[in-house]
Structure 1
Amino acid sequence: MVLIYGVLAAPVEDDPVQEFENGNRMFSAALYKELVKETSDNIVISPLSLDAILSLTYEGAIGETAAEFVSGLHLPNSNEKVQRAYRTVLPKLESSSDTLELLSANRIYIAEDVVLEDEFSSIAANVYRSGVAQIGFSDSTAAADEINRWVEEETNQKVRNLIDSSNIDANTRMVLVNTLYLSGQWRQPFQTYPEPRSFYRSKDDAVYVTMMLAEQYVNYWKNDELNARFVELPLQGANISMVIALPNEVDGLADLENNVELVLRTPPKVCLLRPVEILLPRFSVETKTKFVPVLQNLGIQRAFSRRAQLSGISSTDKSLYVTDVIQKTYLNVTEGGIEAAAATEDVKSALPDVLVPFIQFEADRPFLYYIRQNGVILFSGRYVGP
């Protein structure tokens, strides 16, 4: 059996990256819709992290199992296109500077008697940049500890205890792990609002929260069809930004979530920088999700049964199947940035010396958000209050 764990435009036929970005958005929306059926709490997921490790598994699939991966993940329609897309996307997930750290890593843990197919090993290393480590699964505690140590190192200690020893036993043949870690400073930092403000979890339920304030020129747009407004908050470097989708009504989040495919679209090309006074809660969210039922609902079913056709993975074990897909994701939004580790000075952003009215954008009600790099959704989620 195999365990898989993951931590963090219209398609153009001859452009695998454009196809992949479009598919990533559709997969992100489908995941989101499934997750909000099960919980009313804050959530954060990394669609790309999950996509990457499942796409690697797809490389060893054949027949109907492979077809279900393509359909459920909204992948380009050939292995070659998927590989071309990941050869472009994954290198962009590596950036390290004083203001931005973006890290992605894959690792395959295999039982000591498992031998990977040469072609799968080559694709894993050269396309998905995945390392391979042999491990003794019979000692489940030691195996879980080793995997968790690696995940903690790759996520700067932010994701801990991804895998429990009860999820592994002597029959475990393979564990695939993907990590995606982002720590970045806002291009224009926020400052702490001087006093707590009301956050309306519903029309009849308000709590006080710490708000962050910024007066910035940012991408701002309205969507009357969604009855919502949007701002895009850029980080420093690597073309990464966080988009906040704020419903106009206090109880409008459900309507937004029903149309999440439209919410996740790339900001409109006509979107212009506008002067906006932004009030955003300081918040932190951590989510651990078991994705097998979700993925089954999206049509990926054979891979999680003994009908799985994953013969392209191992030359020694042709009866592999997936038993678990678990993701643990952490997001921290502060005045300095997303996952900002260092303190930043409490200074207002420099604005042009022109008298223009500021648009008021106060996120004082449940909202949806996503973090994107170019056209790829790295993280998505919702904040419904403390």
Structure 2
Amino acid sequence: MKKLILFLIAPGFMALIAGCGSTGGTAGASMEIADGVEYGETDYQLIAEANNALGMKLLNDLSDREDGNIFVSPTSLYMALAMVYNGADGVTKEEIAKVLEAEGLTAEEMNKANASLIAKLGSNSDAIELNIANSIWAKDSYRFLESFRESSQDYFNAEVEMIDVTDTASADAINEWVREETNDRIDEMVESPLPGDLAAILLNAIYFNGTWQYTFIEELTEEQPFYPADGSTAEVPLMVLEEELAYMETDQFQAVALPYGEGEMNMHVFLPAEDSSLGEFKSSLENENWSAWMTNFESRKGLVKLPKFELEYEVNLNETLQDFGMETAFDTVDLSKMFEESSGLFISEVKQKSFVNVSEEGTEAAAATSVAVLETSGSAEPPFELIVNRPFFFTITDDETGVILFMGLIENPS
């Protein structure tokens, strides 16, 4: 099924950049930016292409590292790292800017672009539910800079909470927040209890539920052969749709746009030609080609057979982000624009969990991205073991003077 999942990544780029969504339903917070927060209506254009480029790089990197299905949210990752960028300075800020293709953007410009994106995606639609939520949880011994707290709340709609990391209720509260914002589709984002040296965790959650504009007829869904790249054959339920749709075809692939609602969002499905491969298609997946492809779709009557499936996916992105340019943040991170005192910190883990269900009625998808920041002093060295089961030397000393009162070599204590 690896072939299928890549086809479904691409629509996420366009859906989250060009679509409209409802803030209703069971997923949580409003996506309305507070009155008085200044940003331009089109500021999201500063990060739209960079968001897509990050997703394409991410997909290529992960598929090179592992076999099997992959499903990620570039927007969830981008927004989580943007919140870190908002509180970063020095080398950390430079490295995150490289990953986000935001060189030259100030933190204020990045904040305004994200606010603009959230507002743009927050338009109402009866057939599409989209929720984007952010939160920041910090150890209660730290103090946020007021400028960081205000910008996080204003531009990212972020909930900012101080927690006792030794209390198991703190981990429960974080997991409950993720469950609520993803309509129970993402579970157990953090383990309980939280690490005692946890300084902060920054979270983004995205939930999408869209009804097809043209629903697949459930009675026509039937088990049919699917041919993975390894030469095997699998039986999968293929859904059937015959409709006039946006379609394009090249020597390398066929592609179709399957609209949600009234066409505010689309799933773009790309099928490599029989004499091509998913690997060849992946090598051509870049922003310049993507932009060109999006202009070449034309309305055409046709038949689509699409697998019906459900997938859960989880990935640690530390190595990937280091390869992308965040080379030092996993050793030492400069968050001097976030905390009053921020020395001795490092990013311990960037993790994303995702879910997607594609059925005759539509598509439900969710993702959550966490950035965990730990204290260096708490994890610099692992616990030691000293098992005295062979000859040893010992002393008895006076602490104040340093004088050795006794010393001995023990060959056999029995």
Alignment TM class, shorter chain as reference: 0.7 to 0.9
* Higher-RCO chain (CA-CA 8 Å, sequence separation at least 6): 1
Q: Which residue number in structure 2 is paired with residue 311 of structure 1?
A: 336
Residues 1:327 and 2:352 are matched in the alignment: yes
Q: Which residue number in structure 1 is paired with residue 312 of structure 2?
A: 286
Per-residue Cα deviation, 1:327-374 (whole angstroms, up to 9, x for no partner): 11001000000029xxxxxxxxxxxxxxxxxxxxxxxxxxxxxx9xxx
Deviation at 1:321, TM superposition (A): 2.3
* Equivalent in 243, 249, 256 of residue 231 of structure 1: 256
Q: Which residue number in structure 2 is paired with residue 365 of structure 1?
A: none
Deviation at 1:266, TM superposition (A): 6.5
Aligned with 2:345: secondary structure?
Answer: coil
Query: Letter of the aligned partner of 2:246 in structure 1?
Result: N
Q: Which residue number in structure 2 is paired with residue 119 of structure 1?
A: 147
* Equivalent in 199, 210, 216 of residue 173 of structure 1: 199
Q: In structure 2, how many angstroms separate the alpha carbons of the residues matched to 1:316 and 1:70?
A: 23
Alignment of 1:135-214 (within 5 A): 135-139=163-167, 141-165=168-192, 168-192=194-218, 193-202=220-229, 204-214=231-241
Q: In structure 2, do the counterparts of structure 1 residues 251 and 284 end up closer, same or farther at CA, with 3 Å as the change threshold?
A: farther
Per-residue Cα deviation, 1:230-283 (whole angstroms, up to 9, x for no partner): 111111158221111110127611111122215644643242211121000001
Deviation at 1:30, TM superposition (A): 0.9
Q: In structure 2, do the counterparts of structure 1 residues 96 and 147 end up closer, same or farther at CA, with 3 Å as the change threshold?
A: farther
Compute the TM-score of the two structures, normalised by the length of structure 1: 0.79
Alignment of 1:6-21 (within 5 A): 16-21=43-48
Residues 1:246 and 2:271 are matched in the alignment: yes
Check the 8 A contact 2:171/2:192 in 1, yes or no: yes
Check the 8 A contact 1:203/1:250 in 2, yes or no: no
Name structure 2 gaps, 5 residues minimum: 1-11, 13-39, 369-414
Q: In structure 2, do the counterparts of structure 1 residues 282 and 56 end up closer, same or farther at CA, with 3 Å as the change threshold?
A: same
Query: Letter of the aligned partner of 1:130 in structure 2?
Result: A
Check the 8 A contact 1:291/1:325 in 2, yes or no: yes
Q: Which residue number in structure 2 is paired with residue 256 of structure 1?
A: 281
Alignment of 1:96-135 (within 5 A): 98-135=126-163
Q: Which residue number in structure 1 is paired with residue 56 of structure 2?
A: 29
Q: In structure 1, how many angstroms separate the alpha carbons of the residues matched to 2:231 and 2:148?
A: 55
RMSD over aligned Cα atoms: 2.4
Aligned with 2:64: secondary structure?
Answer: coil
Check the 8 A contact 1:28/1:47 in 2, yes or no: yes
Q: In structure 1, how many angstroms separate the alpha carbons of the residues matched to 2:297 and 2:124?
A: 29
Q: In structure 2, do the counterparts of structure 1 residues 149 and 106 end up closer, same or farther at CA, with 3 Å as the change threshold?
A: same
Aligned with 1:173: secondary structure?
Answer: strand
Compute the TM-score of the two structures, normalised by the length of structure 2: 0.74
Per-residue Cα deviation, 1:201-255 (whole angstroms, up to 9, x for no partner): 137311111111111221111233xx11111111115822111111012761111
After alignment, is 277-286 or 261-270 more displaced? 261-270
Q: In structure 2, do the counterparts of structure 1 residues 322 and 254 end up closer, same or farther at CA, with 3 Å as the change threshold?
A: same
Alignment of 1:47-86 (within 5 A): 47-75=74-102, 77-79=104-106, 80-86=108-114
Deviation at 1:317, TM superposition (A): 3.0
Query: Letter of the aligned partner of 1:337 in structure 2?
Result: G
Check the 8 A contact 2:222/2:239 in 1, yes or no: no
Deviation at 1:86, TM superposition (A): 1.1
Q: In structure 2, do the counterparts of structure 1 residues 188 and 113 end up closer, same or farther at CA, with 3 Å as the change threshold?
A: same
Q: Which residue number in structure 2 is paired with residue 339 of structure 1?
A: 364
Per-residue Cα deviation, 1:35-71 (whole angstroms, up to 9, x for no partner): 1122211111011001001011011111221111111
Q: In structure 2, do the counterparts of structure 1 residues 238 and 101 end up closer, same or farther at CA, with 3 Å as the change threshold?
A: farther
Query: Letter of the aligned partner of 1:177 in structure 2?
Result: L
Alignment of 1:35-46 (within 5 A): 35-46=62-73
Q: In structure 2, do the counterparts of structure 1 residues 70 and 242 end up closer, same or farther at CA, with 3 Å as the change threshold?
A: same
Check the 8 A contact 2:213/2:263 in 1, yes or no: no
Deviation at 1:109, TM superposition (A): 0.6
Deviation at 1:92, TM superposition (A): 3.1
Check the 8 A contact 2:86/2:111 in 1, yes or no: no
Instruction: Report sequence identity in percent.
Output: 28
Per-residue Cα deviation, 1:272-307 (whole angstroms, up to 9, x for no partner): 21112100000111111111111011111222112x
Query: Letter of the aligned partner of 1:188 in structure 2?
Result: Y
Query: Letter of the aligned partner of 1:322 in structure 2?
Result: I
Name structure 1 gaps, 5 residues minimum: 1-7, 9-13, 341-370, 372-377, 380-386
Q: In structure 2, do the counterparts of structure 1 residues 270 and 29 end up closer, same or farther at CA, with 3 Å as the change threshold?
A: closer
Q: In structure 1, how many angstroms separate the alpha carbons of the residues matched to 2:275 and 2:217?
A: 25
Please say which structure displays the higher CA radius of gyration.
Answer: 2
